[in-house]
A and B are shown apart, each in its own frame.
Chain A
Amino acid sequence: MNDLFLSFVPGKSFLHRLDPRTKVLGLMAVSFCILKVSSFEIMALMAIIFAILVIACHLPFLHFVRSVRPMLPFFTFIFLMQLLFTEGTHLFDFGLLKGTYEGFLLGSILALRFIFLILFAALITATTSPSGITSGIERLLRPLPLKYLGISSHDLAMMMSLSLYFVPMLFDSFRDLRDAQISRGLDIRKEPVKAIMSLTVPLVRMALRSVDEVALAMESRCYTGEGRSSMYVLEFRSLDYALLVFYCVLLFLLYI
């Protein structure tokens, strides 16, 4: 029943208590690191930092395994592409294709980058409530002159958190539908085209209907977007300031 993909795990650890803005900025800083650096040592350091954070927050490792698992075919594809189509020292033959040592390194780094991006994002969603993420992003976007472009920072943040909210819901619906069609004799492996038709049509219908319902529910509670106060008043504490300084130093060191 409980799909754990990118969902919130309530708790009282220090990551849970951090200001959402710090966490969102932290995720951005970490992402810059991951995308900039291409050495295995830094990746190993990332893994250690990640493991320490997970243990310190008493989160189950399995939660994160499940977050990465759906994307594994994609990562494998990236890895294989790099492995087989990079010029360099010959490593092995795979039919007409040749695996190279350079390709292996490049592929591993790329795949690891994506995996760490997802893991750290999952760490943030696991330790921040959806409303926390919304208000955090909203506050961060507020100083930007977005409103001259006709975009409200609040709407943007609300859209982001609603999409996050829909992910587990879609997984639940998908599982129910899959069960229903399997009960009617669908063999997903043998007839993938039939499976896609019989699963996506009702899933899209259901998603559109839920979106309509959520929109109606928001409207019937007089949601207007702008000028909405927040239940959570965001406040930076000393740890938040310390971390912000740390991010700046980190990014400074990276790019200079």
Chain B
Amino acid sequence: MSIEVKDLSFFYNKGTSLEKKALDKVSFSIVKGEFVLITGEVGSGKSTLIRHLNGLLKPHSGSVKVSGINSTNRELRSKIGLLMQYPQRQLFGKTVFEDVAFGPSNFGLKDDELKERVNESLLLAGLCRDIADISPFSLSGGQMRLVALAGVLSMRPEYLILDEPTSGLDPENKASLFSTLKKLQTTGISVIIVSHQIDDFLPFANKVLFLKNGCVDFIGSPEEYLQSVSSPIPELTSLMKELQNCGFEVASDIYSVEDAFNEITRVLGSKEVYKDE
């Protein structure tokens, strides 16, 4: 099972004087289990692209297929979970339970199975079960966002698309989100992240897609991404490049704290071992 995007083009206000091209012949594929980071400037078509992946928008030309089926098929919606930007705004339930159960109950889940599903996704999102009975509006903004994430996870998607999941999150909730992402990686779910925060997400990614003016400017592994000079690079990579310029013999294609630590201790001849907190 994979997502195949082929020659996808899309226009806003098609057929009016305000017509604007949002996507221009975008082609790529996502294999199940991959962690994909989609990045690019504001207005480069990122949000438009992900709205095609779960069929909210129909391509004006080209196609988006999920294991051979057109993405506009409603049954695929439970398989491709989409969490929009500022998802805390979409909450409406009287209780957290009601809100998280919204997705799976729309796909016919009931009673005990539904309860189990809600508990499972609350835990997966890094929340405790006790909050299921309180109103989502009594929670903090960061926790509300995690509830919204649980609301998408509860459909047990095979692909999870997150639009700028870290914007406006405090460090604590961010850590909670990252540990959820790590857990998800082990379950075989494909995670597709749309973000400007390449520092945050490059360490997770196996594939990077860089959009520019609605076209695919770059697609490849994170290492290859760092080689393509035109794109913005993480701060760690710039640090390693600076160290290289100062005469230290360190590799510069480094973008995770662990790799940077190991590389620097190696050059310094220290035997310290990196401990992830």
Contacts and interface: CB of A to CB of B under 8 A. Distances in A.
A184 B151 contact: yes
Contacts, number: 69
A193 interface: no
Interface in A181-201: 181-187, 191, 197-199, 201
A201 B88 CA distance: 12
Interface stretch (B78-86, B166-174, B220-228, B256-264): B78-86
Interface residues of A, number: 26
Most B CB contacts (10 A, CB to CB) among A184, A186, A205 go to: A184
Interface residues of B, number: 29
A222 interface: no
B77 A182 contact: yes
Interface in B64-109: 74, 77-78, 81-82, 84, 87, 89-92, 102-104, 106-107
B91 A185 contact: no
B269 interface: no
Interface in B14-38: 15-18
Contact of A176 (B81, B84, B103): B84
B87 A187 contact: no
Interface string B125-141: 00000000000010000
A60 B13 CA distance: 11
Given A60-B18, A202-B90, A202-B91, A184 B51 contact: no
20 contacts: A2-B12, A173-B89, A176-B84, A177-B90, A179-B56, A179-B82, A182-B56, A182-B77, A183-B56, A183-B77, A183-B81, A184-B77, A184-B103, A185-B103, A185-B106, A185-B155, A187-B106, A199-B92, A201-B92, A202-B90
Given A60-B18, A185-B78, A202-B92, 11 more contacts: A4-B18, A63-B16, A179-B56, A179-B82, A180-B90, A181-B90, A182-B77, A199-B92, A201-B92, A205-B89, A205-B137
